[in-house]
Chains A and B, each alone.
Chain A
C-alpha cells in the first residue's frame, strides 16, 4: 500500500528517497509495506481505515549531520517529517505520525549514553536510548544515581520528556520535561541549536543551568513541532542510602481534604516521594446499598457503611528516600502531622530497605499490608512487567485490548477539587451513557505530576475492538473531551487522533495560545515540514487538515 506524502508526486518522492538514501545509507531507508508495518500505531482506533496515520517511508539516521540532511531534503520537496525516538509511546499514538504520508525520522539508532555524572547528578543521552538502556548503563558502571522512569520502561528519556511524560520518585524528577537540563535541536532549516548554557560555545556547564540568558525556547520542543531534539540532559537523583514506605488510613469521606493538604505539605518540602492514594471502599462498590449512597455522593451514609464494614474511606501510601535515620524521622514526622490534622488517622509501617536493593527486594514486596504501589518504578527500576495490563490474561485469555489509550485530565491538588471532579465526571459518564467504573465517589487521583492531580475520564468506552466499535468509541471520547473542557478540565496528553480535540479545550481568548504557536510555527518552519498537527499546532501548509480525523 504505497502512499505519498501530501502534495508530493511520485517523481518528487522518488528523488527525495534517493537523497535520504545518500544521507543515511540505503539499508536505513524503509519504503516497503513489510518494513513500514511497525511504524503504524499497534493500538490505533483507525487501523486499516483509509485515514489511518501511516508513513510513506521511514529513515533511520545515526548522526546529527544525517538528521540535518534529512531535514534539508524534506524542505526541498516540502515533505512532512515525523520524528520518533524509541517509538514506544503507546496509548498516545506509538510511532504513528499526525499526518498520513509523513516520512518518519526514526532516531532509534542514535542510542548513545553520552554522559552520566554521579557527582553533579545528570545524564546526557541521545533519542534512541531507552530508560532500560540508561538504567543498565548506570548499573554496569556502579554509578550512584537513580533514574525516574515511566512504566513501562522501553520508552526514551527524550521522547517521554518531550511528550510531558511523568514518573514515580521525588517530585522534581517525576516531571521529566521539567527535569531536563539543556538540549540540542535540529531546527526546521537544518541548523543545530543548543539551549541554556549550551548556547555558549565554550561552556563547561551546559547541563547545570538550563535557562542560559534571554528567552528560553525549550518549552517549544515539548509536545511541539519546532525541531528535532538530538541530545538532551536530565537531572538524576542521587542514589539514596535507604528507601522506606508507610500506609496512612483515614476513616471518613471528608478526611480526604486534610489528608491531601498534609500530603501536599510533605511533598512540597521534598520529604516524601510520590504518594499513592486509594480507597478502602472499592470493595463495597458491588454492594447495591453502598453503590446507591456513593452514586448520590451521600457522605454520611457512605461513612456509616464504611464504619459498619470496618473499612477506611481513604488511604495514602507514602515513600521516603534518604538514610535509615532520616527516612524513619520523616515517617515519624508524617505520622505526627497526620494525627494532628486528621482525627482517627491510622498508620502501618511498610518496608524499610537499605540501598542498593537486591534483585529479590525489587521484585518481591514484603509490605505488611496490601500495597497498590508499583514498587520497581518507585525504586527507579524500569521494566516491562506492567504490560500485562494490555495482554492475554487468565481473565481475558482469547482477546487483547486493542483500544489501549491514555486520557487524563488535570485536577486541582486538593480534596475539594477531587470531590468536585468525581461529581463532574460521574455526571458526564451518566449523560454520555458511559460505564462509570472510574468516575464515582471513591475515584482517586494520581499524583504523578507533583503540583497537580490527574484523573482519567473516558476509559469506560474502551474494549470493543471492531472497526465500528472503535469509531464509536473515538466519537464518544471526543464528546468527553468537550464536556471536560466546559467544566474546566483539560487533558495533558493525547494520541494524534485526538490532539486537535484536546487542543480545542485550550481556547482562552479566542485560541490565542494556538494562534501564537502557529505564528511561530509559520515563521520557524515556513514549509511546515516538522510534525504538522502535533498537539494541534498546524503550519499554514497543512492547516486545512485540522480536525480532518474527526470524520
Chain B
C-alpha cells in the first residue's frame, strides 16, 4: 500500500467511523426523546406503580395484565414487540377505552422515538430479569 493509498483508506475509515458515531448518537437521541415522550404521555396510564383507589396497577398496565394473562409483560417498557408500526396502529386508532391520539399530541416521529425507547428499555428489563 502506497502512502497515498494508506491515506485514502484511513480517510475512508475515518468517514465510516464518523458516520457510525453519528448514527449511534442519533439513535441515542431518539431513545432519549422517546423516553421523555413515553414518560409524559404514556406512563401516567401504562407505567409501573400502584393505581388509584387501592388498585395494584395503573389502568393501562392492569388492562394488559388482564388481556395477556402473563403471556406478555403488562408493562410496555418490558415489551420487545412494540415496533413503530404496531404503536402507530394502537395510538392512532385507540384500543378499548384508550382513546386515539392526534398527530398534534404525538407525531409519527415521536411514535418512532417511543418505539426506539421501548426497544432499549425492554433490553434493560430482560437483563435485569436474567440477573435475578
Tell me the A residues contacting B by CB distance below 8 Å. 28, 30, 34-35, 37-40, 42-43, 58, 60, 86-88, 90, 94-95, 106, 108-109, 128, 132, 153-154, 363-365, 374, 376, 383-388, 390-394, 397, 400-401, 404
Contact = CB atoms under 8 A, between A and B. Distances in A.
A356 B58 CA distance: 23
A128 B40 CA distance: 14
Interface SS of chain B: loop
Contacts of A154: 44
Among B93, B94, B99, the one with the most A-chain Cβ atoms within 10 Å of its Cβ is B99
Contact of A38 (B40, B63, B99): B99
Given A94-B99, A365-B54, A391 B63 contact: yes
Contacts of B55: 385, 388
B97 A401 contact: yes
B84 interface: no
B92 interface: yes
A28 B104 contact: yes
Contacts of B62: 388, 391-393
Contacts of A28: 104
Interface of B: 40, 44-45, 49-55, 58-60, 62-63, 66-67, 92-94, 96-105
A43 B97 CA distance: 8
Given A38-B102, A106-B104, A109-B104, A385 B66 contact: no
A374 B50 contact: no
Contact of B59 (A87, A106, A153, A391): A391
B97 A363 contact: no
Contact of A394 (B49, B66, B104): B66
19 contacts: A28-B104, A37-B100, A38-B102, A40-B100, A60-B104, A132-B40, A374-B53, A385-B51, A385-B53, A385-B58, A387-B59, A388-B51, A388-B52, A391-B60, A391-B63, A391-B97, A400-B96, A400-B97, A404-B97
B99 A384 contact: no
A364 B50 contact: yes
Contacts of B66: 392-394, 397
A108 B102 contact: yes
A385 B100 contact: no
Contacts of A34: 92
A235 B6 CA distance: 70
Among A94, A128, A364, A384, the one with the most B-chain Cβ atoms within 10 Å of its Cβ is A384
Contacts of B52: 374, 376, 383, 385-386, 388
A106 B102 contact: yes
Among A365, A383, A391, the one with the most B-chain Cβ atoms within 10 Å of its Cβ is A391
Query: Which 6 residue pairs are nearest across A and B when measured between Cβ atoms?
Result: A385-B52, A38-B100, A391-B97, A108-B104, A42-B99, A390-B97
Given A108-B105, A363-B49, A388-B62, 19 more contacts: A37-B92, A38-B99, A38-B100, A95-B102, A154-B44, A374-B52, A374-B53, A384-B44, A384-B58, A384-B59, A385-B59, A386-B52, A387-B45, A387-B59, A388-B52, A391-B60, A392-B62, A393-B63, A400-B96
Contacts of A385: 51-53, 55, 58-59
Given A37-B92, A363-B50, A388 B102 contact: no
A245 to B, nearest CB: 15
Contacts of B40: 132
Contacts of A386: 52, 59
Given A376-B52, A384-B45, A385-B58, A391 B102 contact: no
